[in-house]
């Protein structure tokens, strides 16, 4: 049990599909994040939510749409993706976005866009 | 923009030897520097972190050093063991943006028995 749970673990979708990734944290944290991990590249921050409010959108294309209904849940809605969007999508949480709050990651969703 | 460079990209050592991974950062306002370990198929996990008011921190076989003047920090693993084999990521963040981590490219460490 990691404290941060992501579903599904694996997802294959066509470019015209609509799907959603789900993340839930049981750590009582107030901040949640989406990171993208592609092969041979650093982890890329996508979105940051602090107390349910989006505080960071790191120039992410609109085909990725986050949703944070409360501090424990985070979604990433996907539509009309491209093959280059295939990657491991990691959710993380931290106590807040303040100074030096360690991130706790989920196991990720391995996304393949065909 | 903000950038973190990490070297080497791959590192192979014999069991019992030491391993050193180095990172440099571009944002002089960075003041929080965590290190994450990611085993194959698993999530990144925090192994050690250091803040800018400290020059060195140790936790058993793992130590991190920070040189703010030169804007670089390093991870040192002593007496390496096969279970240390993983990808290690350094990261940096600034001020009140502790969660907005900028990651290095990762170092794949292989410890040979």
Distance CA B102, CA B71 (A): 14
Confidence of residue A54 (pLDDT cuts 50, 70, 90): confident
What is the rounded CA–CA span in Å between residue B77 and residue B74? 10
The fraction of chain A above a pLDDT of 70, given in percent, is 97
Q: What are the angstrom distances between the C-alpha of A12 and each of A55, A92, A112, B43, B112?
A: 29, 22, 5, 20, 36
Q: Which of B101, B79, B77, B98 is nearest to B90 (CA)?
A: B101
Instruction: Please count the CA atoms within 13 angstroms of the CA of A89 that sit on its side-chain side.
Output: 29
Structure tokens at A90: 């990691």
- The answer, yes or no, to whether residue B78 has pLDDT greater than 70, is yes
Nearest to A42 among B93, B99, B105 (CB): B105
Cβ of B43 and A103 within 8 Å? no
CA B49 from chain center: how many Å?
8
If you count residue pairs, one on A and one on B, with CB atoms under 8 Å apart, how many are there?
71
Residue A97 has what pLDDT?
77
CB contact under 8 A, A102 and B31: no
Chain B residue closest in CA terms to A96? B99
- Which residue from B minimizes the CA distance to A36? B103
| Model confidence pLDDT, tens digit, residues A72-111 | 999 999 999 999 999 999 999 998 877 677 899 999 999 9
Q: A41 — contact with chain B (CB < 8 Å)?
A: yes
| pLDDT at B92 exceeding the cut of 70 | yes
Question: What is the distance in angstroms between the Cα of A3 and the nearest Cα belonging to chain B?
Answer: 12
Residues of B in contact with A102 (CB under 8 A): 34, 46, 49
Nearest Cα to B101, choosing from B38, B47, B27? B27
pLDDT at A45 over 70: yes
Q: What is the pLDDT of residue A104?
A: 93
pLDDT at A102: 86
pLDDT of residue A39 exceeding 70, the answer is yes
pLDDT digits (tens, 9 = 90+) for B44-68: 999 999 988 889 999 999 999 999 9
- pLDDT for B1: 64
Q: What is the pLDDT of residue B99?
A: 67
Say which of B89, B95, B98 has its CB closest to residue A101.
B98
Summarize pLDDT for B11-44 with one digit per residue, the tens. 999 999 999 999 999 999 899 999 999 998 899 9
Q: What is the largest CA-CA distance in chain A?
A: 40
pLDDT at A89: 97
**Per-residue tokens: B36:** 């994450």
């Amino acid at each position: 049990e990691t404290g941060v749970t992501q579903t599904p673990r694996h997802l294959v979708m066509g470019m015209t599909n609509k799907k959603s990734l789900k993340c839930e944290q049981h750590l009582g944290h107030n901040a949640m994040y989406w990171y993208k991990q592609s092969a041979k590249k650093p982890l890329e921050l996508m979105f940051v939510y602090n107390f349910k409010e989006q505080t960071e959108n790191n120039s992410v294309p609109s085909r990725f749409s986050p949703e944070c209904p409360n501090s424990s849940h985070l979604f990433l809605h996907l539509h009309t993706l491209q093959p280059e969007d295939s990657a491991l999508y990691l959710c993380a949480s931290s106590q807040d976005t303040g100074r030096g709050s360690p991130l706790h990651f989920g196991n990720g969703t391995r996304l393949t866009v065909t | 923009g903000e950038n973190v460079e990490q070297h080497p990209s791959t590192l192979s050592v014999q069991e019992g030897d030491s391993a050193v991974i180095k990172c440099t950062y571009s944002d002089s306002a960075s003041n929080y520097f965590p290190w994450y370990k990611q085993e194959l198929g698993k999530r990144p996990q925090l192994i050690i972190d250091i803040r800018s008011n400290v020059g060195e921190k140790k936790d058993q076989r793992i130590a991190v050093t920070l040189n703010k003047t030169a804007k670089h920090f390093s991870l040192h693993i002593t007496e390496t063991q096969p279970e240390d084999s993983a990808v290690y990521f350094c990261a940096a963040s600034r001020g009140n943006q502790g969660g907005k981590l900028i990651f290095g490219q990762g170092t794949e460490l292989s410890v040979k028995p």
